[in-house]
Every structure is written in structure tokens, then in C-alpha cells.
Structure 1
Amino acid sequence: MYFTLKILLLFINCSLLVTVHTRSFEAQSKIVGGYEATPYSHPYLVSLQTRFLWVRVHNCGGAILNERWVLSAAHCAVESWLTRWLPLDVVAGIHDIDKFGNQAQIIRINERLPHPLYEGGIGPYDVAVFSTVSPFRFTKYVQPVNLPINYKANGGPMKLAGWGVLKTTVFIPALPSKLQEVKVTYIPYEECYQAIEKLKEDYEENPLDRNANICTGPITGGVAACSGDSGGPLIQFVRNDILDPNDPVEDNTERYDASNYNCTNDNEATESATTEATKRQDRQTVDEYIPVVVGIVSWGVSPCGEKGAPTIYTNVSTYLDFINYNVKDLF
């Protein structure tokens, strides 16, 4: 009974999410070309889960802003009756969504505030904030993310993480239980616009918005977000002493390990033999960088990971006024 009910919720949720969009463009929900993340390496990342009776199902990703607020996509709040009317919980401090562990924090969502100008489907203003009935307890497993104050996404390295669908079948989507992540590359607006022009049908308008969206690739194919990890944060690592759009961002994502963030990736590389002095020097350099949420997974081209197809995000820096208006004292 439990399994049947959970599968039913998954099927209804995924099908409604797709049908509101055009044939070529869909809201996002899986990471294509990713790998399992180091456990608890993204302590700002949460799972927004629809709850019905005793069953809880992952619906969208999100990022912790402070003790009582989460940042996500507007379509995660209003796009289907499941997300609009059923109770919603935020689950923080987890790696495996099937086995939470003692460090997990499950808190009921109190208020869902999509941008008032969001019209549904694909378009601008795809941003929302969610308040919780009780505060998060910040630990090494649960931490807030940084907003891009006086900062715009650039060509520096970026990471995307989530629990989205790994593979779709006729009826039941294949979901990972453990957090997946992938490194993605920034695509300038003009290049992204032209990429979508080549993929869309002649009768379709190009929905990309210069101010509302940012894009990632590579568009060589095989690496993308996809329908289901909507609302998850696109992270860029930035020097913690300054948030300056002209400041170069070095590739420190693989070794980032500042105080409460542990983004060391042991999946692709083995530890090299270095002296203790070199390790200390490396740590000092790495600790200067902090995770900044520059984008929110919004939409993309179907099928996911197709050659020439970028992933599209809500540009967080464009909507800082909306965030600050609803979530006081963030900056």
C-alpha cells in the first residue's frame, strides 16, 4: 500500500509538471551526466516534499536562506494541485532521501510566496520563497547559502546538485536515493539564445529572457538538469572577502572545505602525497571561497542532455529585491 501510494503521487506529480509546457521546453527535474555527491557536501540544499497521509515524496529542490526561509522556483509552488494544495515539508541535512539519519531536519512549510508577476509555465519571475513553521538548527549538515550581493554569474566554475530523475520510463520515473551533482559551464546570453533558436520549432517563440535567465552547458550534450530538480540552486564559488562581478573565480569547487561546508570530491580523484605545509597552504586558499546561489533551476529543452541544448535558470541577482522584500534582514 505504501509503495503503491508513493508511486501514484510520483506519477501524478511528474505528469502534471510536464503537460503545462510546450512540446520542446519543460520544467526541470533530473541531473544528466552527474555522479554521487560527497555526503553532506551541500548543506544549504533541501528537498521540498509533498506529504499525503504518512507518505512524503520529493517534489523540488531549494536552498536555505536563513533560519526560516527557503529559496526555490515559483513553479514549485503553484504549477500543480499537488504542490498548491497538499501539505509541503522541507527536509534539510540529508544525503539519502530514503534514509534520512539523525542529522536530518523535517519542518513543515508555513507559507509559499511565488513572485506576484509569475504567470505559470515557462517565463520570467520563476522564483519563490517558502517560510517554515519552526526554525532550522544550523549544524555542519544544515547551513544557509549566500546570495549574489553585488555579484553576477560569470565564466567561473559552477555546480548543480539534486535528487532528480535519473531515467524516465513509460510509467515510473527512476529516482536516485542519494544526492547527485555535476559541474556545469556558464553560457553567455547570445550564445544561449542562438542555441535555443536552433532547437525550437518555427512557430514557437524563444522564451529566453536576458534579465530573467542565465544558462549553463556544456551544449556538447550529456550534461544537464532535467524535469524534476526544479528549484534547486546553481552554485558558483566566490571569494568570501568580496562579491565583485569583476573578481576572477578560480576552480576551487573540487576542494572547497570551509568551516561548515564540505565539498571535497573523492569520487573522481585520489589524494596525492603532499607535505603538511602544502596541505595547510591549500586549505587557506580554499577557505577564501564560499558558495553563492546564482541561479534557480527553471526550464530546459526536451529531451534532456540533448546535444546543443542548454539548461536555463532563474537569475537570482535580478530578483534580490523580491527576496529581500519577503525575507527581512538578509542584506
Structure 2
Amino acid sequence: MMTLALVLLLATCAHGCGTPTYEPSVGRVVNGKDARPYSWPWQISLQYLSGSTYHQTCGGTLLAPNWVMTAGHCIGSHTYRVVMGEYDLTKEEGYEQIRSVEKFVVHPGWNDKCVSCGNDIAMIKLSSPVVLNDKVQLPCVPVSGEVAPHDDPCYVTGWGRMDNGGPIASKLQQALLPVVSHSICSSKGWWSSNVKPTMICAGGDIRSGCHGDSGGPLNCRGGDGRWYVQGVNSFVANRKCNTDRKPTVFTRTSSFTEWISDTMLLH
């Protein structure tokens, strides 16, 4: 039986979700490339204050005008702000919507000393709702328990580092990350028991997320042509972001649909 919160969440996503005004430029992308501006309009930039300047630290997904989903490990003791309608971090392009944070709700099962234990998910309530427009929009959310199929051509997006030691990207990046089934990703020589059923793996050959992409979405096109956020960027290999048989690991959104919707209703 669906909770009232889940009904509300699905109702929010039922109309106009996952249909960007500016269609993403997708295809067989090797490594990352600049995304088409505003083609992932639910992607947000989570920034922390250092001195008098805000700095990019994580990504996230706008799920409702006043709620953002990100990774639990992205939340610390800093002062944060959330920027929607962002593309080039080095410029003020006039479409940004900046909000302070009213509250963080980190999943109660998250353990910051054990990222592979799972539950790496958090919700951010914004100080005031954003205005939805052609550059700030909502994705669709998968139903509870849905599993994206093996080799599903999904896309990771974010401003993360182009490699382990490099700087963060100035413009929003995207890369094709085909889904790796749980049976393969959790097998010996891959991530083994570090990957739980509540996680989803993608990539693992010449493409990956990297440091700074954390919290951002795994975008997968559904059979209805809409874009669904199937995952929350959680962790990559320590040695090198692009490591064979070490796909980028995401928190599986569909494993937490009830918790997400209850959080949005009760807070």
C-alpha cells in the first residue's frame, strides 16, 4: 500500500517530469564532455562557504521546488548553499537560483565511517522554493523497487574532477555510464561484497564519475522517453576514478523511494 507521501511524490513527477526543454546531447560519449547548457535542469551545485567565498563540493538532484536529494557523505559542518540553473561555475549567467539550506535530513542508516555499508543518501530542504522554468525542472523518480537493466545507457553528470589529481570542471560535464547488473558488480574481481542490493553500478571501463561528482544523479531514459534519476553518486575506486571492473557506485533511488517521500512530507 502506498503512503500518502509516496502518492504526493508520484503526483509531483507525473506531470512534466524528466522532459528537459533543452534535450541532452547523448550518444557514445567517451570519458566526459561538456553537457549541452541546461539539458540536465534538475542538476544542482552544492557549495560550502570558506572565508567569504562559496566553493563547489557536490552535486544533487532537485526533486521538488523546495527539496534536493544528494549523498549523505556530502553533508558536513560547513555553511552551505544550493545553486539551481547552474552551468559554468566561473560565470554568472543570469539563470542561477541560489537558496540557503533550511535543514538537512541524512538517512538514519548512514555511517560516515563505512561508505560501502550503504544508505548514502540525504535530503536538503531549501529555505524557499525555486521557480521552475526552462532551465530549472524536475526529473522523474523510479517506483519503489525498480531495477535498471544491465547495460542500460545512463549518464552521470557533475562538475567533478576530470581525473584523480586534476581540478574540478568549470562547465557541467556528462558521460555515458552503462549500468552493470548487481550480479556482475558484486562478483569477485569487481566490487564483491562492497556493493549492496540497495546500490546500482554503472561504467567500469573507460568512463566513471570522479571526486566532486558525489551526490549527483545517474540519469536514465525510461521506456516512456522521460529521464529518471536511478541513482545518487556515492563512491569510486580510491586508486583511480577510471578503474577497470570498478564501476562508479550509486545509491539506488528506488530502494529509498518511501524514505524520500516520507521525508518530504514530514519535514
TM-score range normalised by the length of the shorter chain: 0.7 to 0.9
Distance apart, 1:146 and its partner CA: 1.4
The correspondence of residues 127-206 of structure 1 with structure 2, limited to 5 A, is 127-150=121-144, 151-155=146-150, 156-169=152-165, 173-194=166-187, 197-198=188-189, 206=193
The correspondence of residues 1-331 of structure 1 with structure 2, limited to 5 A, is 33-77=31-75, 84-120=76-112, 121-122=114-115, 123-150=117-144, 151-155=146-150, 156-169=152-165, 173-194=166-187, 197-198=188-189, 206-210=193-197, 212-217=198-203, 219=204, 221-240=205-224, 289-302=225-238, 303-328=240-265
Q: Residue in 1 aligned with 2:13?
A: none
C-alpha contact 2:164 2:210 (8 A) present in aligned 1: no
TM superposition score normalised by structure 1: 0.67
Q: Residue in 2 aligned with 1:19?
A: none
- Return the alpha-carbon distance in structure 2 between the equivalents of residues 100 and 43 of structure 1: 16
Cα shift readout 1:244-285 (whole Å, capped 9, x = no counterpart): xxxxxxxxxxxxxxxxxxxxxxxxxxxxxxxxxxxxxxxxxx
TM superposition score normalised by structure 2: 0.82
- Return the alpha-carbon distance in structure 1 between the equivalents of residues 245 and 77 of structure 2: 37
Q: Residue in 2 aligned with 1:254?
A: none
Q: Partner amino acid for 2:227? A: P
Q: By percentage of residues, which structure has more helix?
A: 1
Determine what percentage of the aligned residue pairs are the same residue.
28
Q: Partner amino acid for 2:60? A: G
Q: Partner amino acid for 2:180? A: I
C-alpha contact 2:139 2:227 (8 A) present in aligned 1: yes
Q: Partner amino acid for 2:87? A: H
Cα shift readout 1:134-178 (whole Å, capped 9, x = no counterpart): 110111100112110253322432111100011344xxx412100
Cα shift readout 1:176-205 (whole Å, capped 9, x = no counterpart): 1001101111111111112xx3267xxxx8
Q: Partner amino acid for 1:230? A: S
Q: Partner amino acid for 2:156? A: L
- Return the alpha-carbon distance in structure 1 between the equivalents of residues 199 and 143 of structure 2: 17
- Return the alpha-carbon distance in structure 1 between the equivalents of residues 168 and 147 of structure 2: 32
State the structure with more CA Rg: 1
- Return the alpha-carbon distance in structure 2 between the equivalents of residues 199 and 160 of structure 1: 20
Any unmatched runs of 5+ in structure 1? 1-31, 78-83, 241-288
Distance 1:149 1:100, change over 3 A: farther
C-alpha contact 2:164 2:211 (8 A) present in aligned 1: no
- Return the alpha-carbon distance in structure 2 between the equivalents of residues 135 and 53 of structure 1: 27
Q: Partner amino acid for 2:154? A: M
**Cα RMSD after superposing both structures:** 1.9
Any unmatched runs of 5+ in structure 2? 1-29
> Secondary structure of the residue that 1:328 maps to in structure 2?
helix
Distance 1:167 1:186, change over 3 A: closer
Q: Partner amino acid for 1:209? A: K
Q: Residue in 2 aligned with 1:261?
A: none
- Return the alpha-carbon distance in structure 2 between the equivalents of residues 125 and 199 of structure 1: 20
Aligned residues: 233
C-alpha contact 2:168 2:212 (8 A) present in aligned 1: no
